[in-house]
Amino acid sequence: MSKLNDILIRAGRGPLSLPDATDRLKTSLAEYVSQKTIDTGNERLVTFSAELEKIDELTWLQNQSVFPRIFWMNRDRDDVAAGIGKADSIVYDEEGPNSESFLFLQRNLDRKPHGERYFGGCSFNNQQKKEKDWDPFHSLCFILPQVQICRNNDGSQLKAHLYIPEGADPEEASSGLQKTLDSISLSTTCSASVLPDTDDISYKPAREKWIETCTAVLNTFREGFMGKIILARQTHLTFRTPFSPLLFLLNYPFPESSTYRYYFEPEKNRAFFSFTPERLYLRNHDSLMTEALAGTCSKDTLPDGNIDACRHLLNSEKDIREHRFVRDTIASELGPICSEIDMEENVRALQLNNLVHLYTRFRAILKPGSENDATVLTSLHPTPAVGGVPREQALEQIIDLEPFSRGWYAGPIGWISKERAEFAVGIRSALANNRHVFLYSGAGLVNGSSPAAEWDEVEQKIGDMLAITRQTV
């Protein structure tokens, strides 16, 4: 394999306005390609970067017409990325255990010594048959955008990535990036900001079937076959006209809520997006952070709001038991791959807009040989908060009991690089296909659960997205 050259060209220091930063990237690209001494043999990645004045990344993304389009914001809101186009990608479409797709991802990433991030996601269960609405989404897909805006505590950057395959002519390879840069809209306002009206809303399964299925599952718990399972529901919204799914993020009404914001649009008006509160893990070399998040209470169902909801949740025997399943299972999954594990002794309450969750944080050091994402993903996904206990039995039951394909719902979503990665769990999410949007959320069943109460909990969990559409829970 040829050596990959990782070249960083700082096109401008500023910070610069969006028009000036864009012009600097175009000029730097043209100057690089015009060099007569460029080696045309080796594969390489050339990154052009300019400091950028702070702008609204979502508005910038909405104004762009190049696909795919991606957006990422972490829970602390200090790591933001908006990208367009595809400079490079890692794609897997074979059926089989998720461990095989994770290994494929790792092997391809190992061939890319540069430190740039690839954004994407993968299926919850790669052994489940996909439905037609998931066609644009591969079993696993991670993309290095052609152009992206990145923002962290150090400020904002406009970046362009030129990937030159081995033996390719740099000028020919640069034509796609040049076309994307030329197409960039410099507008700072959005023309369309409101979602169209809905014509219809339906549920899969319907409430009667949900209660019937949950009751049957609870009977198996009493017989000792399983300890916990998460069953999901699909809410199908039909809108009057097609629209950009990015409007869901642009109209999210709770900007201070402790959730990730994730968006992946491989082609126009076909997108998967999530407002998930749950981190799967954050890896920095051999240092790992993860968490157990399970147990839910709605503030709207209690008279005194936040304080009552937290107190109620921390004293709920059913929710504490559900949380313990997840916490103890994650601790046991970390054991074989970690040399040090520090688990918080006290359970915390994570407050969102109208919900409160129980969560426990873990910090760990990965063992030599395990400090890679294929190992961590295989060990942690799916957590008992989206699958169940025992894991394999729960996965089989989910396929048998849920009347739809989960696709990327509840799968790992986020970004990955050679030395660092962060993944969230793709819950509180939706799949958009022109006029049709499918909302996904689930509830954890343990012995003592009420099927009717779990239906109501699923309603509460998609309440934020329904509020955007002017529907009510």
- Check 26, 228, 299, 418 and give the catalytic one: 228
Give yes or no for a contact between 406 and 425, defined as CB atoms under 8 angstroms apart: no
User: Which of 346, 342, 423, 419 lies closest to 378 in space, CA to CA?
Assistant: 423
Instruction: Determine whether 204 is an active site residue.
Output: no
Instruction: Determine whether 132 is an active site residue.
Output: no
Q: Is 457 annotated as a binding residue?
A: yes
Give yes or no for a contact between 410 and 385, defined as CB atoms under 8 angstroms apart: no
How large is the C-alpha radius of gyration of the chain?
A: 23
- Angstrom distance (rounded) from CA 67 to CA 87: 11
- Check 278, 371, 454, 459 and give the catalytic one: 278
- Angstrom distance (rounded) from CA 114 to CA 116: 6
- Angstrom distance (rounded) from CA 77 to CA 290: 18
Q: Is 256 annotated as a binding residue?
A: no
Which amino acids are annotated catalytic?
Answer: 228, 278
Query: Which residue positions form the known binding site for Mg(2+)?
Result: 322, 457
